[in-house]
Structure 1
Amino acid sequence: MSCEQKPCVVPAENFNAVEDAATLRSAMKGFGTDEEAIIELLTSRSNAQRQEIKEAFEKEYERDLIEDLKSELGGNFEKVILALMTPPNEYMCKELNNAMEGMGTKEDTIIEILCSRPSEEIKEIVSAYEALYDRPLVEHLCREISGKFSRLITLIATGTRDPAGTVDPEKAKEDAELLYAAGEEKLGTDEETFNRIMSHSSFAQLALVFDEYKTLSGMTIEQAIKHEIGGHLHDALMAIVECTQSPPAYFAKRVHKAMDGMGTVDTALIRIIVSRSEIDLDSVKDEFERIYNRTLYSAIANETSGDYKKALVALLKV
């Protein structure tokens, strides 16, 4: 993928899982809970280190750290802390499952998770999903979404995208011509061609395809998608385009959308801040300020409150 990736959360130096487990035990033992201590510790450790703390906690105290946290915390603050304590791939699987279970399907969540990630990460999520839920992710997706949108998403979930960094300039020209023939050059739209190219090519290859498309047609691929395709398929294709250009900018827009309008979409805000914290959250902050002319810190501070706000802000490392 293009664009420098700068994380906010990095592994702590001089890490000691047993000492950290003791700190958490003290924060939850007795009358009242020291939320500040929990926030300070967990937001300054990597996810891999948090898993070691969890193991040390169980070994030292014969208690389940996750259950203890659940019993002490509540609301959105609890959701942030539990998200931090969940291995990344497992967390994405749970978010996908939540998006498909219950009343209605949250297509935005499915698009955000599956359309933004390179093939290696998708394969890890697919494997983790079947281990967690004893059913293939593709099977579950096919039951919940339909049409050409379903075709694109299932192609992505079956791991058809080329490995990260795979490029072929000549094929980029061919694919640009195919996209032009499938859309602007004909009456109606051949969505299958869009789906095949957008789900198979690496993000680096897609960047070449989009450049060739503009040279060939005189318009951007975004303009073509807007003219030719609607609904959830439009949203998914646009997500792929945006992540090809700049994943941090894509996630900055997603964060803004989660906080824009009446009420905050807390699950989306938590998912993006936590899941990007060790990948490119610092870059997301930069893009948020560039696009919206305000800091991500100020936006979160205005839209959230209490320990929930403190935990999210702590992850921003401002």
Structure 2
Amino acid sequence: MACNLVSVFLQQAMQSNYPAPSGPTITPFPNFDASADATALNNALQAKDVDEETIINILTTRTNWQRQQIAADYQQSVGKQLKDVMKSKLSGKLETVVLDLLQTPAQFDAHQLYYAMKGLGTDEDCLIEILVSRSNKEIKEIIKAYKEEFKSDLEDKIKSDTSKDFQKALITLLKASRDESCEVDHDLADDDARALYEAGEKRKGTDVDTFINILSSRNAAHMRTVFERYTKYSKHEVDKALDLELSGDIENVLISLVKCIGNKPAYFAEKLYNSMKGRGTQDKILIRIMISRSEVDLKDIKVAYKAKYGTTLYKAIKDETKGDYETILLALCGRDE
């Protein structure tokens, strides 16, 4: 099943089924006035009945940078941290989303990673999602934010919470050394395709290091060419090889890499769909993706979602959530299109 899903991702990427990137759902608010917004938020928070509508409207129509300016102005004028007042006045999932929106992107990811490894058990899917999808610059900022927020080293924590090939893959991604150009070296692509074949299907056992090194270091355009060339050496596509050769967390991280390389919006669309399918909603995943992609590529994810599932992301969220939680997620989502 996994290999069939990846085949779809690769096919979508190579056939360019989706329109050119259209980007974020949240863009800079025109005529921005941090002081006026801070005053409006304070009035909303001090009202007899907290004015959630104003809070949601301001926080979901300002970029993260603008929110940081509002928070700074609020502290200067009120003498309290905006996040602390929000925490004392709000509750439930609305409180969660609001507090997340007040963190910088790096702080947000650092907190997600921290809680994925806190206590008994590890949320491997969270570790995978963040580390396979962030840019070199973003990963370096996450490492710095993690150190500042938790006074500990992210790499050390990952090493203590994971093991074997899965640990090796995550630590390699944490090095943030991927080529981020758009250049394709066709000779190298052929060499990489052959190397992947010889590391997997052609031998007994799997040379996981080769898969990790190639999938984590080459740029996306180059890797799409590698995926095409792979079928020159094998009757299978590379995703099928991964499915046949590996299992568990290492399979998940490598297949997630292939999906992100092939079509990142489709990767996140699938994760959003899975977070809402069946009984109950995986709110942590839903919130994490809606916030982390709202200023990056959430419009593209919406296009991918509709193409893949035949309904809009907006409608899916509306069907699965309610109250102020629904309102704030739909505001992040943008128009039903």
Confirm or deny a common fold (TM above 0.5): yes
Which of 102, 111, 128 lines up with 1:111 in the alignment?
128
Aligned to 1:43: 60
Shift, 1:221, TM fit? 1.4
User: Quick one: distance in 2 between partners of 1:52 and 1:160?
Assistant: 32
CA distance in 2, matches of 1:166, 1:120: 19
User: 1:258 maps to which residue?
Assistant: 275
1:220 matches 2:208:
no
Aligned to 1:152: 169
Residue deviations 1:59-97 (CA, integer Å, cap 9, x gap) = 111121111111111111111111111100110000000
Match 2:293 to one of 269, 272, 276: 276
- 2:151 maps to 134
Name which of structure 1's ranges 25-34 and 118-127 shifts more when overlaid on structure 2. Answer: 118-127
Change (3 A) 1:165 1:139: farther
* Equivalence for 2:189: 172
1:293 to 310, 318, 323: 310
What amino acid sits opposite 2:47 in the alignment?
G
Corresponding residue of 2:252: 235
- Tell me the equivalent position of 2:6: none
Whether the aligned pair in 2 keeps the contact of 1:96 and 1:109 (CA below 8 Å) is yes
2:148, 2:77 → 1: CA distance?
A: 28
The one-letter code matched in structure 2 to 1:137 is L
Q: Deviations over 1:148-194 (max 9, x none)?
A: 11111111112232234354322111111110001111122111111
Q: Distance in 2 between matches of 1:212 and 1:121?
A: 30
When residues 136 and 205 of structure 1 are mapped into structure 2, their CA distance, relative to the original with a 3 A threshold, is farther
CA distance in 2 between partners of 1:280 and 1:159 (Å): 21
Deviation (angstroms), 1:260? 1.6
Deviation larger for 256-265 or 41-50:
256-265
Q: What is the identity, as a one-letter code, of the residue corresponding to 1:288?
A: Y
Q: Tell whether the 8 Å contact from 1:138 to 1:158 is kept in structure 2 after alignment.
A: no
CA distance in 2 between counterparts of 1:199 and 1:96 reads: 19
Contact 1:118 1:202 in 2 (8 A): no
1:80 maps to amino acid: V
- The one-letter code of the counterpart of 2:40 is T
Q: Does 1:25 align with 2:42?
A: yes
Displacement after TM superposition at 1:121 (Å)? 1.8
Correspondent of 2:322 among 283, 291, 305: 305
- The CA distance in 2 between the partners of 1:118 and 1:173, in whole Å, is 25
2:119 alignment partner in structure 1: 102
State the identity as a percent. 38
Q: Which residue of 1 aligns with 2:5?
A: none
Q: What are the superposed Cα offsets for residues 8-30 of structure 1, whole Å, 9 maximum, x if unpaired?
A: 00010100000000110110113
1:66 aligns with 2:83: yes
Contact residue 182 and residue 193 of structure 1 kept, 8 A: yes
Q: Specify the code of the residue in structure 2 equivalent to 1:194.
A: F
* Larger deviation, residues 23-32 vs 207-216: 207-216
Unaligned runs of 5+ in 1: none
Superposed CA deviations along residues 184-220 of structure 1, whole A, max 9, x for unmatched, are 1112211111111112222232222212212332422
Three-state SS of the structure 2 residue aligned to 1:246 is helix
Instruction: Give the Cα separation in 2 of the matches to 1:90 and 1:170.
Output: 40
Are 2:31 and 1:14 aligned?
yes
* Counterpart Cα distance in 1 of 2:103 and 2:169: 28
Matching residue of 2:179: 162
Quote how far apart the aligned CAs of 1:134 are: 2.2
Q: TM-score, normalised by structure 1?
A: 0.96
1:55 maps to amino acid: A
2:55 is the alignment partner of 1:55: no
CA contact (8 A) 1:226 1:234 kept: yes
Amino acid aligned to 1:250: Y
Q: Is the 8 A contact 2:201 2:241 kept in 1?
A: yes
Post-superposition Cα deviations, 1:221-254, rounded to whole Å, max 9, x if no partner, equal: 1111111111011111111111111111000001
The alignment covers a number of residue pairs equal to 317
For residue 123 of structure 1, report the CA deviation from its aligned partner: 1.8
Deviation at 1:261, TM superposition (A): 2.2
What's the TM-score once normalised by structure 2's chain length? Answer: 0.91
